[in-house]
Amino acid sequence: MPMQLQFVPVEDFYFALTLAVRTLEDLAQPSLVEVEQVRSRLLVEYGQPSTVAPGKQNTFNYVFRVLGVDNSPAPGLVVSVSDWQDKLRLSSDYGWMLDSERKPVRTILFSQRSQFTQQLRSHLQQLLQIPI
């Protein structure tokens, strides 16, 4: 099954996000116009962001459960698309999981985070019809 993103609305946000979510990539090259295009496209496609506490440094955060990508031994996979200090930020718990004390630990897939980042960028470009 190819990668699929399932939007997490604000009502479910705290149940979806884990302490293991870490930055995959800050895309510094997009201009403010391109970041605004991504925000606008996400707003049209999914409505209100997954979080509702915008600030000066962070005005949107869309969270998705990822289907069709193995993140073993973690039971699931989450990605976040947000802006941070005028950059587009991609984050995920890919290659991480919580141990019995709920502390993030790396898994065997951690070394494949850069490949996952490229796969996510490609998927988002197709989904949003915007170069990322």
Q: How many domains does the chain have?
A: 1
Token pair listed for 7: 């939007």
Is 128 inside any structural domain? no
pTM: 0.85
Is 131 inside any structural domain? no
Q: Which domain holds residue 48?
A: 4-123
Which amino acid is located at 67 in the chain?
L
Quote the crossing angle between the two packed helices 32-46 and 113-128, to the nearest 10°.
70
pLDDT of 38-58, one tens digit each? 889 999 999 988 886 656 778
pLDDT of 69-97, one tens digit each? 999 999 899 999 998 887 889 999 999 99
Is 35 inside any structural domain? yes
Is 92 inside any structural domain? yes
Is 38 inside any structural domain? yes
pLDDT at 111: 97
**Residue 17 confidence class, pLDDT cut points 50, 70, 90:** low
pLDDT beyond 70 at 33:
no
The DSSP call for residue 9 is: -
Rounded to 5 degrees, φ, ψ at 26 are: -105, 120
How many other C-beta atoms lie within 10 A of the C-beta of residue 102? 9
